[in-house]
Structure 1
């Protein structure tokens, strides 16, 4: 089972400027005792594709520029280690797809990839195409000419460099089996099912989070469990979908939490946050920032389903992020950048809060007191600001929050009061036994309380958003200790 301690999300090379061994040294050196585990973002060949490793040419190989499977084993011996099983797609540069380009339907790998014809053998109507849910604008099909003289429409949910896998075919099953086995042999004990909501396509549906998708997640999760690994479903969708998915896998992400915390801080109102924490899945990972943008769809309405926030509140949330970041986020979001996301705002969480040290620490405190195991992204750990230089170089919106660090930057960042305060907060979350007990949330308007209790041990976060007063109250059988959140910054 995953430790109930704060985990790090990071790329091996972008946090250290080096490799997997350097990351292990960082965790055992300057960050010794801080994290119980690490989500190691794609380390596959190559780490620097069009989507920073989420478009693997070889999902079963470690990029030799940052290490080997032995290095992965070493890291996994000391820490909970999470890796991404990229369920939905593989790179167009993969040897399998190159063979398809050369041989067309005669390729031994033809059945690994999904075409429009596979799902719509009798053709697809305009209405059926319009019904398909896609995270980015435009068609989800890319016509590609093969050397057999034919042009085939391949399913490309994300980009034309990410060709969707036919997960129902024997080739698709064997491909993912091979990666799962490789993980289990190298001390990876947690699998993040990346983009799993898109894996199953069916004519006449929106091809996203279908009943068959739930069944598929059941089977994939059971398969990983048999190999000794837990599974985490990575799905951006309506909040009710997350509640349902949580029943089918070991854990889900609480992607509604980041926008709800921002909303509470922007409006000084905790109502939506309190409502969500009363019903949110308990078997979850919590985040504020990740390698992707700040999810918006998870808290908002979808179709005829009301959201935790209404459309006007979502609009205010997005515009406030843009204002707080001096429009830097606007330059990295939507049509302004090449990776057009319909459901995310690309910005560091620190910049989304206008670089307010107190508000940022308060957001982390709420995250740590919410149900679930907290994860902290490497950029968020060091309170990094938007990397506009990297964005200008790559024109990839999410690069605004995917900085390249090194030892000097880390050393300097560790002296910042906000980073020191965050490290103190992580220590509290990791060491208080009450966080293994029962959770209770209460409040309305500008105040809320998040409380944990196990036996005689209790710990509570009390927040007044209007006055910006936040207190951590610890109770044991002998004494009560009250710490003002602002004291952690001093």
Structure 2
């Protein structure tokens, strides 16, 4: 199958009405022709943490969300995209629970990375750890084995607890390869069209490296899993948060990539009223990308934007976002902070709130996203022009909850009545239906306080003009009968 060049929705299984059945009803009732690009359902599997990203298994759906029949039903009308946390699995999974009981005697022992697979004597060396791109203070956790009473140290890239909730898988192991094959076959039979490889940048562990996107070994793994996905009729989307040069290497390798540069760059354009940096970027980026403004985490800053931003300018922009209620995710590892100490990993807040709940600025941002080459994804909170959920942050102590509000059907219907949401839906339909978006893209010369970009295919032509002084956005396009239409977004 081929990825459709149309708008996709990103949502949790329970964030639009409470479960998958209701999600399907909401989608078919309100968004049948809006998200003809597909639906990215964030992990619907039984999970022990990280809101689905610590899955126990990929062969079941969390019962409170529904079952595989519900996924299949959504797949009747929409391409379904699911996540595969290819780097790790939950410590509550049957595989790891068996390992905790029997240790090395467990039939699943080889799924995991005991430290002797990294250091010959199994003893970690701090000098090696200092070179690693860490997501927690130490890249391993210590567990007690029931049968022997001994302790085992295992590799755990992620996790806020100690020991971690997420246990790394050894992708070099035959057992892991067999497990991945079974997962893809199950996805295929349940109408899953696209799989996002979450945290794939961390799968190769090699001493003397950062243990992040280790070349050339990462390509061996990606080529292997691409072949597996092709055999199941599934498209792959590797998710790698890193310096943009790594993304471009993936693109050169023929993979879809995420445009993690666009969200910050659009924010910068609209807040600082200058299209200079954005125009240059749009002229030079790879086209085979998924674009987004918002997601379940935050707007990427470091390391994605390293080399593209001045940290003094970035601090000013971050401060404006903080004034508008945002919170931050920070880089842990000193080695990966900027020389002046700048350490912002992500800016967390709804995109609508980051733009000060200004309807015109928000529609300008979406217009830029939809006119940028690639597959546009819209996060469900962004779809409904949601504002920062400060109550959820306070109640959970988790900063990311600021942009993870769960909407009831009533709240969705209320949001659909908002003018800004109606304007956004009209814009998405135009992006889906107008043929020029399958043609040739041009960034046009214009003053710095404006932006002009256009698409042309055969007799179809459309152009976007944004006045950054006022955030007023106009689309001009040619109808089939040759009539020129101007449309204020």
TM beyond 0.5: yes
Counterpart position of 2:30 = 30
Q: Is there any run of 5+ residues in structure 2 with no aligned partner, and where?
A: 333-342
Indicate the SS of the match to 2:425.
helix
Counterparts of 1:276-295 in structure 2, within 5 Å, are: 276-295=281-300
8 A contact 1:300–1:310 mirrored in 2: no
Counterpart position of 1:63 = 62
Counterpart position of 1:8 = 9
Equivalent of residue 453 in structure 1, options 443, 453, 456: 456
8 A contact 2:473–2:488 mirrored in 1: yes
Given the alignment of the two structures, is residue 177 of structure 1 paired with residue 181 of structure 2, yes or no?
Answer: yes
Counterparts of 1:89-108 in structure 2, within 5 Å, are: 89-108=88-107
Counterpart position of 2:210 = 206
1:347 is displaced (CA, Å) by 1.0
Cα distance per residue 1:97-134 (max 9 Å; x no partner): 11111111111111111133212225443221111112
Q: 1:385 to 1:455 in 2, by over 3 A?
A: same
CA distance in 2, matches of 1:191, 1:342: 29
Q: 1:299 to 1:101 in 2, by over 3 A?
A: closer
Counterpart position of 1:415 = 417
TM-score (norm 1): 0.92
Equivalent of residue 356 in structure 1, options 355, 358, 361: 358
Equivalent of residue 346 in structure 1, options 324, 345, 348: 348
1:283 is displaced (CA, Å) by 1.2
8 A contact 1:450–1:461 mirrored in 2: yes
Counterpart position of 1:221 = 226
Equivalent of residue 233 in structure 1, options 234, 238, 242: 238
Indicate the SS of the match to 2:417.
coil
Counterpart position of 1:244 = 249
Indicate the SS of the match to 1:70.
helix
Q: 1:203 to 1:333 in 2, by over 3 A?
A: closer
1:142 is displaced (CA, Å) by 1.4
Q: 1:167 to 1:6 in 2, by over 3 A?
A: same
Counterparts of 1:17-166 in structure 2, within 5 Å, are: 17=18, 19-36=19-36, 37-46=38-47, 49-122=48-121, 123-134=123-134, 136-147=135-146, 148-159=148-159, 160-166=164-170
CA distance in 1, matches of 2:425, 2:438: 20
Counterpart position of 1:373 = 375
CA distance in 1, matches of 2:304, 2:221: 25
CA distance in 2, matches of 1:162, 1:106: 21
CA distance in 2, matches of 1:137, 1:270: 37
CA distance in 2, matches of 1:382, 1:246: 31
Counterpart position of 2:324 = 324
1:262 is displaced (CA, Å) by 0.4
1:324 is displaced (CA, Å) by 2.1
Cα distance per residue 1:175-225 (max 9 Å; x no partner): 222211110111101010111011111111111111111221122112101
8 A contact 2:389–2:401 mirrored in 1: yes
Indicate the SS of the match to 2:58.
strand
Cα distance per residue 1:365-398 (max 9 Å; x no partner): 1000001011111111001111122222222221
CA distance in 2, matches of 1:248, 1:20: 35
CA distance in 1, matches of 2:57, 2:197: 17
- RMSD, aligned CA: 1.8
8 A contact 1:347–1:386 mirrored in 2: yes
| Total equivalences in the alignment | 468
Q: Is there any run of 5+ residues in structure 1 with no aligned partner, and where?
A: 302-306, 486-490
CA distance in 1, matches of 2:386, 2:254: 33
Indicate the SS of the match to 1:38.
strand
8 A contact 1:300–1:308 mirrored in 2: yes
Counterpart position of 2:428 = 426
Indicate the SS of the match to 2:429.
helix
Cα distance per residue 1:111-163 (max 9 Å; x no partner): 111133212225443221111112x3411211222222222221111101001
CA distance in 2, matches of 1:299, 1:140: 22
CA distance in 2, matches of 1:298, 1:374: 22
Counterpart position of 1:190 = 194
Counterpart position of 1:488 = none
CA distance in 1, matches of 2:478, 2:77: 32
Once the two structures are overlaid, the 10-residue window that deviates more, 224-233 or 138-147, is: 138-147
TM-score (norm 2): 0.92
CA distance in 2, matches of 1:271, 1:151: 56
Counterpart position of 2:400 = 398
CA distance in 2, matches of 1:242, 1:429: 25
Once the two structures are overlaid, the 10-residue window that deviates more, 413-422 or 464-473, is: 464-473
Q: 1:386 to 1:469 in 2, by over 3 A?
A: closer
